Amino acid sequence: MPLPPAIRLTGKGRRWRLSGHPWIYRDDLAAEPDLAAGELVRVESPRGEFLGQAFYSALSRIALRFVTFDSEAVDDNFWAARLDNALALRARVVRDTDACRLIYGEADGFPGLVVDSYAGHLAVQVLHPGMERRLPDLINLFKVRLAPASITLRQDAEVRRLEGLPLEEVQTVWGNVPDPLVVQEGPVRCLVDIRAGQKTGLFLDQRENRLAAGFLARGEILDAFAYQGGFALHLAAGAKKVTLVESSAAALAMAQENARLNGIANFEPVRANVFSFLKKAVQEGRRYDVIVLDPPAFAKSRRDRPAALKGYLELNRRAFQLLRPQGLLVTCSCSYNVREEEFLDLVRQAAALEGRQARLLERRGAARDHPALLSLPESLYLKCLFVEIF
Ligand code: SAH
């Protein structure tokens, strides 16, 4: 294989790299290189010392994403070994489900690649030109090592634009996806729409939180931002009634089918904006024993922070208004731009403003098949707090 072209960092870039962070920002390149997007480059310090190999990005503010800090050949064997590592981790940590994330970008050494498996049907998302170039080889590798029932490319994620990658029609490039496709999540069966569902079909990062919440079900429950009923399905067995609030008609229709599939009758789906629903529920004097708040990321960038914090505060205040004594709040935020400490403080504030004393039962994050690289704080995005009214 030809040697990769070299790129030099500034002194600051070198120090950043030595801190272990797997990205280099464009400002930290010594000079703007004349390279095509997705090329593998050899990264050097200002004095030419070797610092690793990385994918180059021509557009993004993140100019380099490290593939390895070593000088090994980045070839088919390299990626096969990385895949084996990723699979070994899942074999250790994933239990009682046939739906999980097999490859999670940087945390598995595949920058810009996500692969989820739903009962052996793979959903693949490519978010970097470096991976896009290697996609045909990777698909072959997946066929050989994973013997998947099907492979579907979800190249329709908006974030692809940041890297100049085109948004494409969803494509099943291998095998067939059954309709319906059903997976098992602990005691619950869930329908998955790999081709049109949000993300790659399910919010797999919340799996362990859904399972943990299931144990605490009781009385009347509100699942706000319900999607296809993820939390509600786990909570229904122990509840008198579960009300689901969701704005997407398609997601809510799937939630109803999920209820049927699991023989659940105490399901009340409501198509509404959660903010207006909660306001009205307070006005009508409704009460709940458990409330789940799992909103989409309100703070996609730092600029969105003030509005996002306001949104989270309103939701959590409403929840405290609606909870019965000893009621449980499962409150989540998947905004990386709102840190865990900040989110905790926001929930504390919401309780105080509503004159309620609350105690923290659990601080949770993403499921173990979604590991976060400690050197990449951006990967620590999901917060899920279990808070009980005292
Ligand atoms: N709890 C779900 C995942 C929720 S994702 C699970 O575990 O599977 C967030 C959901 O909120 C999405 O389905 C989205 O359609 C919905 N949503 C976003 N904004 C909303 C709003 N203002 N009101 C109601 N639903 C909303």
Q: What is the CATH number of the domain that holds 150?
A: 3.30.750.80
Final residue before a domain boundary, out of 175, 193, 225: 175
The answer on 94 and 31 residing in a single domain is no
The answer on 152 and 26 residing in a single domain is no
* CA-proximal residue: ligand 1, atom 3 (nearest): 227
The answer on 91 and 57 residing in a single domain is no
Residue 379 maps to which CATH number? 3.40.50.150
The answer on 111 and 260 residing in a single domain is no
Final residue before a domain boundary, out of 129, 157, 175: 175
Domain-embedded: residue 193? no
The answer on 168 and 308 residing in a single domain is no
* Pocket residues: Cβ below 6 A from ligand 1: 198, 203, 206, 210, 225-228, 230-231, 245-248, 251, 273-275, 294, 296
Residues in the chain, total? 390
* Nearest CA among 55, 185, 209 for reference residue 133: 55
Domain-embedded: residue 191? no
* pLDDT in single tens digits along all 390 residues of the chain: 677 899 999 999 999 999 999 999 999 999 999 999 999 999 999 999 999 999 999 999 999 999 999 999 999 999 999 999 999 999 999 999 999 999 999 999 999 999 999 999 999 999 999 999 999 999 999 999 999 999 999 999 999 999 999 999 999 999 999 999 999 999 999 999 999 999 999 999 999 999 999 999 999 999 999 999 999 999 999 999 999 999 999 999 999 999 999 999 999 999 999 999 999 999 999 999 999 999 999 988 889 999 999 999 999 999 999 999 999 999 999 999 999 999 999 999 999 999 999 999 999 999 999 999 999 988 899 999 999 999
Q: Which of 190, 332, 334, 384 is catalytic?
A: 334
Whole-number pLDDT of residue 1:
64
The answer on 216 and 117 residing in a single domain is no
Domain-embedded: residue 181? no
The answer on 96 and 47 residing in a single domain is no
Task: Show the beta-strand stretches assigned E in 119-194.
Answer: 121-126, 150-153, 171-175, 181-185, 188-192
Number of domains in the chain: 3
The answer on 50 and 83 residing in a single domain is no
Can you state the angle between helices 305-322 and 274-283, rounded to 10 degrees?
A: 30
* Nearest CA among 376, 336, 368 for reference residue 102: 368
Whole-number pLDDT of residue 299:
84
Domain-embedded: residue 185? no
Asked about 384 being catalytic, the answer comes back as no
* CA-proximal residue: ligand 1, atom 6 (nearest): 230
* CA-proximal residue: ligand 1, atom 12 (nearest): 227
Whole-number pLDDT of residue 45:
98
Domain-embedded: residue 1? no
Residue 273 Cα, ligand 1 centroid: separation in angstroms? 9
The answer on 61 and 81 residing in a single domain is no
Ligand 1 atom closest to Cα of 273? 23
The answer on 330 and 272 residing in a single domain is yes
Residue 26 Cα, ligand 1 centroid: separation in angstroms? 34
Residue 198 Cα, ligand 1 centroid: separation in angstroms? 10
The answer on 266 and 329 residing in a single domain is yes
Range of the domain at 248: 203-389
Residue 21 maps to which CATH number? 2.30.130.10
Ligand 1 atom closest to Cα of 274? 23
* CA-proximal residue: ligand 1, atom 13 (nearest): 227
* Choice from 227, 280, 383 to test ligand 1 binding pocket (greatest atom count within 8 A of CB): 227
Domain-embedded: residue 182? no
The answer on 380 and 315 residing in a single domain is yes
Whole-number pLDDT of residue 301:
87
Domain-embedded: residue 296? yes
Ligand 1 atom closest to Cα of 277? 23
Whole-number pLDDT of residue 47:
97
> What is the reported pTM?
0.96
DSSP symbols for 323-382: EEEEEEEEEEE--TTS-HHHHHHHHHHHHHHTT--EEEEEEE-S-TTS---TT-GGG---
Residue 101 Cα, ligand 1 centroid: separation in angstroms? 20
Mapping DSSP to helix (H, G, I), strand (E, B) and coil, where does residue 70 land? coil
Ligand 1 atom closest to Cα of 210? 7
Final residue before a domain boundary, out of 27, 45, 68: 68
* Nearest CA among 338, 346, 341, 378 for reference residue 363: 341
Domain-embedded: residue 99? yes
Residue 275 Cα, ligand 1 centroid: separation in angstroms? 12
